[in-house]
């Protein structure tokens, strides 16, 4: 059996924001990895630290008030945290090595510049080629992501395109730069169901045909069930369960993961069955409970959860399946 080649290895990453209300631990000792050619999902509610983890990887944290406090982020065996956020090395990694597709392409694209100008400028920065070559490569990238009449679309402004089309433009940036790792942060937000499927199929096609790796950041476990090989579940700045997609869907071990699954609509079963929401709200990251952060919302909580600190990740179920729960 061939051992997968590691592309990204994040170890004990910590990022905090220092505010008037105290320290907000947005990313709290997070570890995960992505192999070459692999699709990995990071799942959780809004505010759990999913996006902030990805922004920390490419050092796009606003400072102040944010600061990366520690950890290792090894990309192709280079520790990216050894580079300054504005260094030449880090700028070279962004785009050419790691491309991030943000969740709202309308705010990611400059509304007063044409799509072609924005796309070709990114290409020129990373490929070091002339304007005409960059423009032609931009046209080829739009064509690669399924945008009709790409040459004329290069002259469009973002507001002249639909949400799905703008999202394809963001993916085209990753195609044009030939990025090794694509981070898709809520890539289907505000898109209709048909367009969601098209965008996800496009990303998956890039992984398969161009041998890329993909991180899908989402709150929707159902969305990634078809696409991701492995899933990491985040809550309150920490990863609380990880394993293969099949393990988490068929044998979830953390009460929070179970709650996410129970709150999803299902095709099978009685149409009149009510969804089971997770009661309560996520805790403030500046005022976390002393023990398990999920304790106030957990229907399975016991005395051990109240009396001991935050549980460490431990083996749960089959090999490679881990959960941070005292009840395992």
CA–CA dist 278, 219 (Å, integer) = 13
Give residue for tokens 């990303």: 203
Considering only the C-alpha atoms of the chain, give the largest distance between any 2 of them, rounded to a whole number of Å.
Answer: 68
From the list 2, 25, 27, 15, the residue with the least C-alpha distance to 232 is 27
Torsion of CA 17, 18, 22, 27, to 10 degrees: 20
Please count the other Cβ atoms lying within 10 Å of the Cβ belonging to residue 142: 27
Three-state SS at 238: strand
Give residue for tokens 């990895």: 33
CA–CA dist 287, 61 (Å, integer) = 21
Q: Cβ(8)–Cβ(33) under 8 Å?
A: yes
Q: Cβ(141)–Cβ(173) under 8 Å?
A: yes
Q: Assess whether pLDDT exceeds 80 at residue 103.
A: no
Three-state SS at 142: helix
* pTM, full prediction: 0.91
pLDDT at 63: 84
Beta strands 238-244 and 322-323 are antiparallel
- When pLDDT is averaged across residues 133-138 and rounded to a whole number, the result is 92
For residue 297, report the phi and psi dihedrals to the nearest 5 degrees.
-110, -5
Indicate the pLDDT class of residue 273, thresholds 50, 70 and 90: low
pLDDT at 269: 59
Q: Which of 52-66, 118-132, 191-205 has the highest mean pLDDT?
A: 52-66
Percentage of residues of the chain with pLDDT beyond 70: 95
CA–CA dist 89, 221 (Å, integer) = 35
Mean of pLDDT over the chain: 88
Indicate the pLDDT class of residue 267, thresholds 50, 70 and 90: low
pLDDT at 29: 94
Regarding predicted confidence, which is higher, 287 or 228?
A: 228
Instruction: Assign domain 6-97+179-323 to its CATH superfamily.
Output: P-loop containing nucleotide triphosphate hydrolases (3.40.50.300)
From the list 99, 321, 327, the residue with the least C-alpha distance to 232 is 321
Q: Domain extents for the chain?
A: 6-97+179-323, 105-178
CA–CA dist 257, 219 (Å, integer) = 11
Give residue for tokens 């496009």: 202
**What would you report as the CA-atom Rg of the chain, rounded to the nearest whole angstrom?**
21
Beta strands 98-101 and 181-185 are parallel
CA–CA dist 305, 252 (Å, integer) = 18
């Amino acid at each position: 059996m061939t051992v997968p080649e590691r592309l990204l290895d994040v170890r004990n990453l910590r990022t905090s924001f220092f505010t008037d209300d105290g320290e907000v631990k947005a990313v709290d000792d997070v570890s995960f990895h992505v192999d070459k050619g692999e699709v990995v999902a990071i799942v959780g509610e809004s505010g759990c630290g999913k996006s902030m983890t990805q922004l920390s990887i490419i050092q796009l944290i606003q400072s102040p008030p944010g600061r990366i406090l520690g950890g290792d982020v090894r990309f192709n065996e280079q520790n990216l945290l050894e580079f300054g956020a504005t260094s030449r090395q880090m700028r070279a990694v962004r785009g050419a090595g790691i491309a991030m597709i943000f969740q709202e392409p309308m705010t990611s694209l400059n509304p007063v510049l044409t799509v072609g100008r924005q796309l070709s400028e990114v290409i020129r920065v990373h490929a070091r080629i002339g304007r005409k070559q960059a423009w032609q490569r931009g046209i080829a990238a739009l064509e690669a992501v399924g945008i009709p009449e790409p040459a004329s679309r290069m002259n469009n402004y973002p507001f002249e395109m639909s949400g799905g089309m703008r999202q394809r433009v963001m993916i085209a940036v990753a195609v044009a730069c030939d990025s090794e790792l694509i981070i898709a942060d809520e890539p289907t937000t505000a898109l209709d169901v048909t367009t969601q499927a098209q965008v996800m199929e496009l990303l998956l096609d890039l992984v398969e045909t161009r041998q890329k790796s993909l991180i899908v950041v989402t709150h929707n476990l159902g969305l990634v069930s078809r696409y991701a090989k492995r899933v990491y579940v985040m809550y309150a700045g920490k990863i609380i369960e990880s394993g293969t997609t099949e393990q988490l869907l068929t044998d979830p071990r953390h009460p929070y993961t179970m709650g996410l699954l129970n709150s999803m609509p299902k095709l099978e079963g009685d149409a009149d069955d009510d969804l089971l929401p997770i009661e309560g709200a996520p805790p403030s990251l500046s005022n976390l409970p002393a023990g398990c952060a999920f304790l106030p919302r957990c229907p399975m909580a016991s005395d051990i959860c109240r009396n001991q600190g935050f549980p460490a990740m431990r083996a749960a179920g089959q090999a490679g399946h881990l959960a941070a729960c005292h009840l395992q």
